[in-house]
Amino acid sequence: MIAASAGTKPDRADVVIVGAGVGGALASLVLARAGLRVVCLEQGGWTRPEDHPHASPDWEWQRATRWSTAPNVRRLPQDYPVDSSDELTLMWNGVGGSTTVYTATWPRFRPSDFRKGTEHGLQPDWPFAYEDLAPWYERHDQLAGVSGLLGDRAMPERGPFQTRPLPPGSLGRVVSRGFERLGWHWWPMPCAIIAEEYDGRLVCNNCGACQSGCPRGSLNDVSLTIWPKAIAAGAELRPYSRVERIETDERDRASGAVYVDRLTGIRSMQEADIVIVAANGVGTPRLLLLSESNRFPRGLANSSDQVGRNLMHHGLAIVEAWTQERTDPHQGVISATFISEEFAESDPARGFVNGFTMHIVRLNGAGFQANGSHSGNVAPWGAAHHAWFREHFGYGFGMLLVGDDLPIAENRVTLSETATDSNGIRAPKISYKLDPNDRRMMDFAIDRAKDLAAAVDAFDVKVNDFTQPGLGYAPPAWHLLGTCRMGSDPAQSVVNPWGQSWDVSNLFIMDGSVLPTGSAVNPTSTIGALTLRAATHLRDRFGDVRGG
């Protein structure tokens, strides 16, 4: 740890943004294009294309270690530890945020996801409807570049995709026959990865290593797709800048962000008229809780006591199957085959509310597959190893089961009593248990995945329900949602429908923490759409918000 020096005071900004992931990038783009002075503080640095492990023979080892998606595995200086035995929290800390290493899976939420309070009351209604967000989905897609196919009857009509779908390959043809045999919905998975030229970016060449990012820029890593545009518009991105608290003034308005330059140890106060926190569903509540003061003893923007609560990740299980037909699951975008939304809507006859989606996914390379891929089907050691490898390598596929988990008040982010980051700032502590409703849902989902495995005549099936001896359900937690949720009632939510704090009128949140519900699909498409909507609203009313 570098000791922080005496403070400095950079020039005042119109807007300071904490976090350079999808929320910070899109907010910077919108506000900088309006001519505002935008400064974005990011605790990590840039990732150059050549930094990725894709061209190195040890790419799988790197993926398991320094390119792990889990900060508690990587333990890099820009990371902060996550104090939890309930899950393995996943994120990337650096310019681009977690879009640096995600799968860019790009489905949209469903209309009923915005009306769960009406539907069953175990989740809140959103303060607006799907139709209000739909135009912002379109704008986000135009920036991200999305591959897909129109005509999906499981979703509302939508605007055009930017490119055709990515190749489903032999895997797709094998699995589609199983779906057809069962009579279930299936459709090409929308992905923010381009299958045709778009926006000057290279077309995906199906290398299959998306989970270590994309050095080609085919995948919507916002450090490559959005940040260059935001910087060209005048936004200032300040990497290696770790924010330790948001300050407030005598009017209970945010006055700026105190941060430590991780390279020099110099502590500075970036003053601004507007503060936007976009540090993800763990980092944002952590920062608000760290910003407690005499005036805000429970943490900033937390009069509702909802900051950090209602953490959602999605219920998760993975079932893998191996067939007699070649699937070559090391080739092609890992998540770009199909999605089935056959079970996405609630049906109480199943014994649970909400629904799940099934994603057909690939399995990475030979080392990863020998080590059990996503399901833990580890190749035996000894004389049987090579026969197992011949039977399995090139013949498998995965069924990723993603369930809409309920927001539980005690599933939450607090501050750790013991762990700190490399600057001595308290780490987040996470408590997360799967609700019995969601356990029933995931068990049902696993049975349906077994149905699909049987429908393709699989000779081997492995289930990973992420239950561990002594720990219970302890999943990898990729989607960090709900911990500063938006709503219409200041007593039950942290921000209003525009991402604006109920308590601190010039403080905004633009990341996954504002989602009232998580749907049963990957959230980045929705987080970006929400950010564009909120940032544009802020832009159009900037004078009023600045004036308080």
Near other proteins in 99-128, by CB under 8 A? 110-112, 114-115, 117-124
**From candidates 70, 143, 307, 408, binder to other proteins by CB under 8 A:** 408
Report the nearest approach of other proteins to the CB of residue 279 (Å): 22
198-237 residues near other proteins, rule: CB under 8 A: 204-209, 215-216
Q: Among residues 154 and 461, whose Cβ is nearest to other proteins?
A: 154
What whole-number distance in Å separates Cα of residue 295 and Cα of residue 293? 5
What whole-number distance in Å separates Cα of residue 17 and Cα of residue 539? 14
What whole-number distance in Å separates Cα of residue 494 and Cα of residue 512? 13
Q: Among residues 134 and 233, whose Cβ is nearest to other proteins?
A: 134
**From candidates 234, 365, 476, 490, binder to other proteins by CB under 8 A:** 365
Report the nearest approach of other proteins to the CB of residue 419 (Å): 19
253-282 residues near other proteins, rule: CB under 8 A: none
30-69 residues near other proteins, rule: CB under 8 A: 54-61, 64-65
Contacts of residue 512, defined as CB under 8 A and 6 or more positions apart, other chains included, come to: 23, 280, 281, 479, 480, 481, 482, 523, 527
417-456 residues near other proteins, rule: CB under 8 A: 433, 435-437, 440
139-168 residues near other proteins, rule: CB under 8 A: 149, 151-156, 164-168
Report the nearest approach of other proteins to the CB of residue 431 (Å): 11
Q: Among residues 72 and 492, whose Cβ is nearest to other proteins?
A: 492
Under 8 Å between Cβ of 355 and 119 = no
* 75: three-class secondary structure by DSSP: coil
Where in 9-58 does DSSP place strands (E)? 13-18, 38-41
Report the nearest approach of other proteins to the CB of residue 264 (Å): 29
Q: Among residues 165 and 239, whose Cβ is nearest to other proteins?
A: 165
What residue has token string 């970016």? Answer: 201
What whole-number distance in Å separates Cα of residue 155 and Cα of residue 340? 11
HEC per residue, 164-206? CCCCCHHHHHHHHHHHHHHCCCCEECCECECCCCECCECCCCC
Under 8 Å between Cβ of 429 and 415 = yes
Contact flags string 165-194 toward other proteins, x per CB under 8 A: xxxxx--xx--x--xx--xxxxxx------
What whole-number distance in Å separates Cα of residue 312 and Cα of residue 402? 12
* 481: three-class secondary structure by DSSP: strand
Report the nearest approach of other proteins to the CB of residue 405 (Å): 11
**From candidates 142, 303, 346, 416, binder to other proteins by CB under 8 A:** 346
Which tokens hold the place of 490?
């200041």
470-499 residues near other proteins, rule: CB under 8 A: 492
Q: Among residues 240 and 395, whose Cβ is nearest to other proteins?
A: 395
Q: Among residues 75 and 541, whose Cβ is nearest to other proteins?
A: 75
The residue count for binding other proteins (CB under 8 A) is 105
Q: Using alpha carbons only, how large is the chain's radius of gyration in Å?
A: 22
HEC per residue, 304-368? CCCCCCCCECCEEEEEEEECCCCCCCCCCCCCCCEEECCCCCCEHHHCECCCEEEEEECCCCHHH
Element (H, E) at 245: strand 241-248
Which among 283-291, 360-368, 505-513, 522-530 is the span making contact with other proteins, rule CB under 8 A?
A: 360-368
Which tokens hold the place of 280?
């993800």
368-387 residues near other proteins, rule: CB under 8 A: 368, 370-371, 378-379, 381-383, 385-387
Q: DSSP class of residue 17? A: E
Q: Among residues 366 and 454, whose Cβ is nearest to other proteins?
A: 366
Which tokens hold the place of 103?
């799968």
Report the nearest approach of other proteins to the CB of residue 96 (Å): 18
- β-sheet bridge partners, residue 191: 105, 147
303-342 residues near other proteins, rule: CB under 8 A: 306, 309-310, 328, 330-332, 341-342
Report the nearest approach of other proteins to the CB of residue 90 (Å): 19
Report the nearest approach of other proteins to the CB of residue 535 (Å): 24
Report the nearest approach of other proteins to the CB of residue 175 (Å): 11
How many angstroms from the chain centroid is the CA of residue 60? 22
What whole-number distance in Å separates Cα of residue 399 and Cα of residue 384? 26
Q: Among residues 12 and 492, whose Cβ is nearest to other proteins?
A: 492
Q: Among residues 110 and 286, whose Cβ is nearest to other proteins?
A: 110
Q: DSSP class of residue 108? A: P
Which amino acid belongs to residue 312?
M
Q: Among residues 138 and 247, whose Cβ is nearest to other proteins?
A: 138
Q: Among residues 124 and 299, whose Cβ is nearest to other proteins?
A: 124
Q: Among residues 100 and 255, whose Cβ is nearest to other proteins?
A: 100
